[in-house]
Amino acid sequence: MKTKRVDWARSLTALALAPLLVGCGGGPRPVKVSGTVTLNGQPVEGAMVQFVPVKDDGRPATGITNAGGGFSLTTVENHDGALPGQYKVVITYKPAVETGPAQNTEQGMRQAMKAQAQQKKGQPKYVIPPAYSDPARTPVAQTVPAPGPIKIDIK
Exposed/middle/buried for residue 44 (C-beta within 10 Å: 0-12, 13-18, 19+): buried
Task: Please state the rounded mean pLDDT for residues 52-70.
Answer: 94
pLDDT band at 141 (very low <50, low <70, confident <90, very high): very high
| pLDDT one-digit tens code per residue, 91-101 | 999 876 677 78
Residue 70 CB-half CA count within 13 A: 7
Nearest to 90 by CA among 55, 54, 126, 118: 54
Handedness of CA 148, 73, 62, 112 (dihedral sign): negative
Please name the amino acid found at residue 152.
I
Q: Domain spans of the chain?
A: 28-154
Which pLDDT score is estimated for 7? Answer: 45
Which pLDDT score is estimated for 105? Answer: 80
51 within 8 A of 1, measured Cβ to Cβ:
no
Nearest to 55 by CA among 135, 145, 130: 135
pTM: 0.70
Query: What is the gyration radius of the CA atoms in the chain, in angstroms?
Result: 22
Taking 70 as the threshold, does the pLDDT of residue 13 lie above it? no
State the average pLDDT for the chain. Answer: 81
